[in-house]
């Protein structure tokens, strides 16, 4: 059987990109006091370059876009800020961090610039969210999460920030729903259910809003695909009613009490009737 080297290299690029994104989010606490995290990420980037060259048969293709131009302007602004910075050395260090991120993005961009669809990147983002969420559960322990959910509390920030975990989980859930609606249901879609529990444990208001708004928009855009305007409107109304009923029922579960309390506090703070305004963006 003849091996398709190009297809294998392309699959390896997908896999290494996934590992790179997961490690870039988790390596700071996964390695503890070890300081070789940057080298691990460098190995991932080096792997991307190797398999990119294999896939493209040694030809390097790069298209300069407006995104690169904006990033270069931002890098320039960062370095200019060192002129009147309180601590110029810190400003220089952070500016150099932006430069490193820029070159990392160039490598990633080269690997996917010829793709005709963003489907590959969407799936990488989705699986990154799932892996980080379940790694967080592994970090704290399942018993800890059960205790948090049963006591209407919120997970600590010993690993990743709770909001970051919640948003990654929310993105994964919305992407899963997208593939269920626009592709077809698959066995792995069930992973979204425990991820919803992890999201609840984070107590993240932003993540809850992300899921609600994302779900509504997916169903609305799905309904708009109908050629008949009347059918589209009927489908939108029906979808919104069904989502409202299901959403209210799900949010009545005890595990969502913490995030709902925080939402209520946010509304009170905005309306001036109470609430802690210091946590509006946390």
pLDDT one-digit tens code per residue, 165-224 = 889 999 999 999 999 888 888 888 899 988 988 888 888 888 888 998 898 888 888 877
Whole-structure pTM value: 0.81
pLDDT recorded at residue 112: 92
Contact indicator for 241, 230 with CB cutoff of 8 Å: no
Which among 219, 263, 261 is positioned nearest to 244, based on CA atoms?
Answer: 219
- With a CB cutoff of 8 Å and minimum separation 6, the contacts of 22 are 128, 131, 132, 135
Q: How far apart are CA 259 and CA 198, in angstroms?
A: 12
For the segment 235-251, what is each residue's pLDDT rounded down to a tens digit?
A: 778 877 877 887 777 77
pLDDT at 1 over 50: no
Q: How far apart are CA 103 and CA 97, in angstroms?
A: 10
pLDDT at 109 over 80: yes
């Amino acid at each position: 059987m003849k091996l398709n080297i190009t297809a294998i290299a392309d699959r390896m690029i997908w896999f290494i990109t996934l590992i790179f994104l997961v490690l870039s989010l988790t390596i700071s606490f996964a390695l503890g006091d070890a300081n070789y995290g940057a080298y691990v990420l460098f190995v991932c980037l080096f792997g991307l370059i190797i398999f990119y060259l294999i896939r493209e048969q040694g030809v390097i293709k790069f298209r300069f876009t407006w995104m690169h131009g904006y990033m270069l302007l931002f890098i320039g602004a960062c370095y200019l800020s060192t002129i009147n910075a309180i601590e110029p050395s810190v400003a220089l260090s952070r500016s150099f961090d932006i430069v490193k991120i820029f070159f990392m993005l160039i490598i990633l961009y080269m690997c996917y610039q010829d793709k005709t669809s963003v489907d590959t990147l969407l799936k990488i983002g989705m699986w990154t969210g799932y892996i980080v969420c379940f790694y967080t559960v592994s970090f704290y322990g399942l018993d800890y999460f059960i205790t948090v959910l049963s006591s209407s509390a919120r997970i600590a920030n010993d690993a990743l920030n709770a909001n970051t975990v919640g948003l990654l989980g929310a993105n994964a859930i919305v992407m899963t729903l997208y593939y269920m609606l626009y592709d077809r249901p698959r066995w792995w879609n069930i992973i979204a259910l425990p991820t919803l529990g992890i999201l609840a444990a984070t107590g993240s208001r932003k993540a809850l809003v992300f899921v609600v708004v994302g779900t509504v928009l997916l169903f609305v855009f799905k309904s708009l695909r109908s050629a008949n305007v009347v059918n589209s409107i009927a489908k939108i109304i029906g979808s919104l009613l069904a989502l409202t009923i299901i959403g209210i029922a799900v949010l009545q579960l005890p595990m969502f009490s913490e995030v709902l309390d925080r939402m209520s506090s946010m509304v009170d703070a905005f309306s001036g009737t109470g609430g802690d305004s210091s946590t509006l963006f946390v």
